[in-house]
Structure 1
């Protein structure tokens, strides 16, 4: 017979989930963590190579470090690591079409994209933010390589909002202004004590 406490446990509770976590389980759970989407690219042998990633994260402010992880099965990673500098483009909400283009074969990914190349680093023009990085360290991490990158230059377009990756698909952030919130509160017009509309006196 189960107790009340046992019935309330979830699969995330260590007392319930004993065995090894599978890759499928981890992928399913982490799909519930919203992330931004970046494109990391560089010019190697006179052509642009790169890929999209949602493993981009800030590591340190002093020194300025960020990180991206690459799977050992990636065929783009060995090419990228030959470049001395990488460009990282943070995609804005209007750039979902960029991801569709990046699903093309590696040698065609950047053919129809508006790119800027400088000192070997490459960026998507019109991105929400861009960073120029140099590899600081590579750390073996299971079936991935975690790359620590030193940021040497960066810029941001504050007029844009990010493209979000959540539930294995792309999304936009719903934008509600303070005026929207105030209008919704006014439309509700309920009394907190009884939930009935308040009467206004003339």
Structure 2
């Protein structure tokens, strides 16, 4: 699967302890009517438990210059938001200057091996057409460049 290029996003949620987030490359559009997305979350992740309890999650599609966000949110621990500006939007943490943003209400959590698939109804979505998305391919970050 390392040979399959994927977008890089940080999935976020918030609870009484504050914001939480994790880097994912398993994120996709699921439906246009109604607008829905799918993200895959590790069955043992704290974020999954928060999504289960709150019924909401955000998807921050990172821009090509946000590889450091990708690294920070990929590690374990609770201090991932230290020094990172964020705002609450539709009840979930939103990172600044991302290529895309989606706020979701969780409609289903489906078991899938050692992960669960979180299906989300899109409450709000925005994108910045001036920013290229961050991608992950062959275990390195990059971006999409249109073919000549």
TM over 0.5: yes
Residues 100-153 of structure 1: CA distance to partner in whole angstroms, max 9, x if unpaired? 322454211011112111342111110001011000111112222111110011
3-state SS of 2:78 partner = helix
Greater share of residues in strand? 2
Which of 102, 118, 123 does residue 152 from structure 1 map onto?
A: 123
Return 5+ residue gaps in structure 1 as ranges.
Answer: 1-29, 182-202
Give the alignment partner of residue 166 of structure 1, picking from 134, 137, 145. Answer: 137
Q: Which residue of 1 aligns with 2:55?
A: 84
Matched, 1:74 2:41: no
Tell me which of the two structures has the higher relative contact order, counting C-alpha pairs closer than 8 angstroms and 6 or more residues apart: 2
Within 2, Cα distance between the matches of 1:76 and 1:146?
13
- 1:20 maps to which residue? none
> Structure 1, residues 15-64: CA drift from partner, whole Å, max 9, x if none?
xxxxxxxxxxxxxxx11110101111122104001211000011111111
- Whole-angstrom CA distance in 1 between matches of 2:104 and 2:144: 27
Q: Which runs of 5+ in 2 are unaligned?
A: none
TM-score, normalising length from structure 2? 0.90
Match of 1:41 in 2: 12
Is 1:83–1:120's contact at 8 Å kept on the other side of the alignment?
no
SS of the aligned residue for 2:46 comes to coil
1:121 to 92, 112, 124: 92
TM-score relative to the length of structure 1:
0.68
Q: Name the count of aligned residue pairs.
A: 148
**After superposition, where does 1:1-202 map in structure 2 within 5 Å?**
30-174=1-145
